[in-house]
Amino acid sequence: MKFVPEAERGHGVNEQVTGTVHLERIMSMQEKEGVQLALVRFEDGALTHWHTHPGEQILYVVEGQCRFGNEAGEKLVAQVGDAIHIPPGEKHWHGAVAGNSMAHLSVTTVGGPNWMEPVSDEDGKL
């Protein structure tokens, strides 16, 4: 068992975004190929760059509306209480709907993201 008090959590600003995103690492991987948990807060309309994960990612929306899309052209909006599953290797993006802030919990397995180019205005439009 491991207890991680709030004071020991990592805080930072994600630079692989358009807009401003604050990242709170709640729990880093404790085991090889384990899970990690973060609370990610997106300011008005902020959006991640395109990226993939070597393992699964689950996003759970806790505030606002989350827009997300993938390379296949799927684009959706998730509400508070909705969960999104992203399979390993799927190229995707996510962020706040324009005019709103948003926060989600992010659970990832295996390792960190592989960051790519910014999302175009057309790709990010709903």
Question: What are the tens digits of pLDDT across the range 54-81?
Answer: 999 999 999 999 999 999 999 999 999 9
Walk me through the domains of the chain, giving residue ranges and CATH numbers: 16-112 (2.60.120.10)
8 vs 43: which has the higher pLDDT: 43
Q: What is the mean pLDDT of residues 16-32?
A: 89
| Contact (CB, 8 A) for 19 and 65 | no
Report CA-CA distances (Å) from 47 to 9, 34, 91: 23, 26, 14
List, in sequence order, the alpha helices (H) in 1-96: none
Closest to 71 (Cα-Cα) out of 109, 119, 106, 121: 119
Q: Is the pTM of this model over 0.85?
A: yes
Is pLDDT of 6 > 80? Answer: no
Tell me the C-alpha distance between 19 and 96, whole Å. Answer: 10
Q: Residue 112's pLDDT is what?
A: 85
Confidence of residue 49 (pLDDT cuts 50, 70, 90): very high
pLDDT > 90: what percent of the chain? 73
CA dihedral 60, 104, 33, 113 (to 10 degrees): 130
Q: What is the mean pLDDT of residues 86-94?
A: 97
